[in-house]
């Protein structure tokens, strides 16, 4: 099984802050990685796929990078609508998710 | 716009079978570009992929759940279903269905869109 580990688990930040979330895979997954945003009581929404490709309609303040085993999701200037939980998901071998990173208001 | 909607009992007794259906609207489940998947999320916890099915019936299952999971597809009704046998309290979760895109490497990749989810509680 490929394990996905996100850090931090919780992140406190203010509007306007630059935020970075890390996702590490237990083995190389090339660039087969997606990022999702989930708000309370709602289903996840896709933000980024293939590590760095922004889904249509997603604000450009979101960006993704990485390959192999280490990936990052960056929000360049945190907006009120961005307070949510973020998940990475690998699709190299089967499909597994990270445990999530909750972005809270500081 | 494609929409997915989960339906099924919200309460299942331990040792019984959990059965859910996902109705797809606004698009055809018979598209060659997609699998159709199930994902669950225990209350307050993270996401776990359960299984995915193609319109032809080809399936992928999570190895940790494979012995208890069956999925099926009904193209005439544009819907697909999940059965999970011998449930315990550990199977209590919000169950989501989602479209599983075949975009890279000729296999399913990410999930988009998702249904709204349905809470299934395993309890007597």
3-state secondary structure chain B: CCEEEEECCCEECCCCCEEEEEEEECCCCCCCCEEEEEEEECCCCCCEEEEEECCCCCEEECCCCHHHEEEEEECCCCEEEEEECCCCHHHCEEEEEEEEEEEECCEEEEEEEECCCEEEEECC
Residue among B64, B110, B117 whose CB faces A43 most closely: B117
Chain B residues in contact with A44 by the CB 8 A cut-off are 47, 96, 111, 114
Give the one of B63, B110, B114 whose C-beta lies nearest to A43's C-beta. B114
Query: What's the distance, CA B67 to chain centroid?
Result: 16
Give the DSSP letter of residue A56: T
Residue B63 C-alpha, separation from nearest chain A C-alpha, in angstroms: 9
Q: Does A62 touch chain B (CB under 8 A)?
A: no
* Predicted local confidence at residue B103, as pLDDT: 83
Residues A69-89: tens digit of each pLDDT = 999 999 999 999 999 999 999
Q: Give the per-residue pLDDT at B67.
A: 97
Question: Which residue from A26, A39, A25, A21 is spatially nearest to A81, judged by alpha carbons?
Answer: A39
Q: Residue A103 pLDDT > 90, yes or no?
A: yes
B109/chain A closest Cα distance in angstroms: 5
B46–chain A nearest CA distance, Å = 5
A100–B contact, CB cutoff 8 A = yes
Q: B17-61, pLDDT tens digit by residue?
A: 999 999 999 999 999 999 999 999 999 999 999 999 999 999 999
Confidence grade of residue B106 (pLDDT, cut at 50, 70, 90) = confident
Q: Quick check: A64 contacting B, CB < 8 Å?
A: no
Residue B18 has a CB neighbour count (10 Å cut-off) of: 22
**Residue for token digits 């598209």?**
B31
Q: Which among A77, A79, A49, A78 has a CA at the least distance from the CA of A64?
A: A49
Q: Pick from A46, A95, A99: which is nearest to B49 by CB?
A: A95
Is B90 at the interface with chain A, CB within 8 A?
A: no
Those of residues 32-51 in B touching chain A at CB distance below 8 A are 37, 46-49
pLDDT tens-digit map of A23-58: 999 999 999 999 999 999 999 999 999 999 999 999
pLDDT confidence bin for B82, thresholds 50/70/90: very high
Nearest to B47 among A46, A50, A97 (CB): A97
User: If pLDDT is split at 50, 70 and 90, which confidence band does B87 have?
Assistant: very high
């Amino acid at each position: 099984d490929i394990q996905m580990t996100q850090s931090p688990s919780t992140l406190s930040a203010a509007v306007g802050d630059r935020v970075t979330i890390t996702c590490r895979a237990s083995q190389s997954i090339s660039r087969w990685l997606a990022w999702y945003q989930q708000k309370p009581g709602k289903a996840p929404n896709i933000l980024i796929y293939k590590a760095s490709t922004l889904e249509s309609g997603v604000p450009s303040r979101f960006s993704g990078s990485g390959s192999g085993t280490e990936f990052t999701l960056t929000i360049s200037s945190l907006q009120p609508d961005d307070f949510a939980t973020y998940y990475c998901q690998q699709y190299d071998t089967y499909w597994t998710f990270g445990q999530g990173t909750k972005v809270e208001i500081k | 716009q494609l929409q997915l909607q989960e339906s099924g009992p919200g309460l299942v007794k331990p040792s019984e079978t959990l059965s859910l259906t996902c109705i797809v609207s606004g698009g055809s489940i018979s598209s060659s570009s997609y699998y159709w998947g199930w994902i669950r999320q225990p209350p307050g916890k993270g996401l776990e992929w359960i299984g995915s099915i193609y319109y032809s019936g080809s399936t992928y299952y999570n190895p940790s759940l494979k012995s208890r999971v069956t999925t099926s597809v009904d193209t005439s009704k544009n819907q697909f279903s999940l059965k999970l046998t011998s449930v315990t309290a550990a199977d209590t979760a919000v169950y989501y269905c989602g479209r599983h895109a075949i975009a890279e490497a000729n296999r399913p990749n990410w999930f988009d869109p998702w249904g709204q989810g349905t809470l299934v509680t395993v309890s007597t």
